Chain A
Amino acid sequence: MSEEFDFFRRQLASVPVRNAAVEEFPNEIDGMDLNVPMAGVWRGLIGSVLPISRDRRIALDALGREVLAWCDGKATVGDLVERHRREHALSFFESRAMLLAFFQLMMKRGVLVMRVPQQEEKVV
């Protein structure tokens, strides 16, 4: 099996897991506001002197809220791509590109982490 092929399968077998510390509130655009607590020594030190925010606010639209709700810690990226593809009548690669960009952003913001299967785990 080629490395590229293996990477492709491992990517689809990865499981997005939500950060349990993130608070969720409905917003007026039918989406969701997320409060992501921010940690760090410098933030703590500076925060004890200056009034800086200890959490980050992220606003999701209805589409983002829908996809985030699907991330239950069990569904793989492949499952979510297939569900998104079916519900929005898109092609596999359209859905994949859309969801991977969304997951990348959410991971950067600390909302999600990705559980990637180890080499020895069976990838279907």
Chain B
Amino acid sequence: MSANRLGWHHLCVEIPDAWEVIGYGTQPRDGRLLLSDPRGETLQVHWKTLKRAPNLRNRLQAWKDTVPHEGEVQFWEVENWAVCAVENGPLLATRHNAEARVLLTLVFSGHAREDAGDAGIEAILRSHQENRGERRTWAAFGIDVTLPGEWELESVEAWPAAQRLHFSRRRGERVSVHRYGMLPVLLAGDSDEAFLARMKGPRALLRVEGPWGKGLALSYRAVHGGLMNVFRGSSLGLAWLWRESGLERLYVFDQKIRGQQVGAEPIGEVRCR
């Protein structure tokens, strides 16, 4: 079974290829992710900021009492994860990061356990890396990007054949990663850069700066109406677009950072998948 990375607030694990995110929360304090494969729900990820360290064993007991079960219930530990599994049923793994004061809980469905086996689930738990610090990974919806830690997730647009993750650091500074599929239909005969111009709309003056890696480097300036040009100025944005051979996807990395100049490199790394 090939693996994909799942990176979100506080979490970074390797999951099976067929598992996709179908529900998400964007707030760092608390929220959840819901994953599924073509057969049904596989994993729920919950995170919550707590004032005090919880008793993980009590939490597992409380969860066990809410799950209808007839067979045996097992408790064990996998590295820093406290695990509880119901025979022929779901499995819950939880851990608390005392430094970040975040409780992370993963609930694997019964059919995920059937498919991956408990050894496979333990491998998922062992692959976990704390997703905080200088570099953070955001990997979901087919996008996998590593950015400096101060960039926070602002919004998500997850559509069929078009996914965008937007990050911000402070007012006016934004990084967006886009991934597009169904290119013959989406581009409708346009070039990649013309498509990007179409996406950015008539208020962005786009300019091709030259080749970059497998694609193109571009710059753009926002055009405001009338006096707004004087008041708001027009800061420079940089974008890079490329296609990954064999994937039939178009990727765009778009960054708008104060003081950046043409020729700068993207601040994040994108893994294509």
* A98-109 near B? 1/0 per residue, CB < 8 Å: 100000000000
Docked CA distance A91–B18 (Å): 9
Q: How far apart are B144's CB and chain A's nearest CB, in angstroms?
A: 14
CB-defined contacts of B181 to chain A, threshold 8 Å: 88-90, 94
List residues 170-196 of chain B with CB under 8 A from any CB of chain A.
181-182, 185
- Selected contact of B247 from candidates A63, A89, A94, CB within 8 Å: A89
Pair A90/B41 contact, Cβ less than 8 Å: no
Docked CA distance A58–B155 (Å): 35
Closest residue of chain B to A8 (Cβ to Cβ) is: B40
Docked CA distance A97–B111 (Å): 22
Pair A95/B160 contact, Cβ less than 8 Å: yes
CB-defined contacts of B142 to chain A, threshold 8 Å: 91
A4 interface residue (CB < 8 Å to B): yes
* A1-42 near B? 1/0 per residue, CB < 8 Å: 010110011001000000000000000000000000000000
Pair A88/B18 contact, Cβ less than 8 Å: no
A92 interface residue (CB < 8 Å to B): yes
Known: A88-B181, A94-B181. 5 other contacts (CB 8 A): A78-B38, A92-B18, A92-B38, A95-B160, A98-B160
Docked CA distance A59–B41 (Å): 36
B150 interface residue (CB < 8 Å to A): no
CB-defined contacts of B39 to chain A, threshold 8 Å: 5, 8-9
B208 interface residue (CB < 8 Å to A): no
Q: How far apart are B99's CB and chain A's nearest CB, in angstroms?
A: 35
Closest residue of chain B to A81 (Cβ to Cβ) is: B38
CB-defined contacts of B157 to chain A, threshold 8 Å: none
B22 interface residue (CB < 8 Å to A): yes
Chain A contact residues, majority secondary structure: helix
* A residues with CB within 8 A of B: 2, 4-5, 8-9, 12, 62-63, 78, 88-95, 97-98
Pair B161/A88 contact, Cβ less than 8 Å: yes
Docked CA distance A2–B36 (Å): 14
Q: A5-B41, A8-B39, A8-B40 are in contact. Are A90 and B20 (CB under 8 A)?
A: no
Docked CA distance A98–B160 (Å): 6
Pair A88/B40 contact, Cβ less than 8 Å: no
Pair A94/B40 contact, Cβ less than 8 Å: no
List residues 1-59 of chain B with CB under 8 A from any CB of chain A.
18, 20, 22, 36-41
B154 interface residue (CB < 8 Å to A): no
Pair B20/A93 contact, Cβ less than 8 Å: yes
Pair B40/A93 contact, Cβ less than 8 Å: no
Pair B38/A90 contact, Cβ less than 8 Å: no
Q: How far apart are A105's CB and chain B's nearest CB, in angstroms?
A: 14
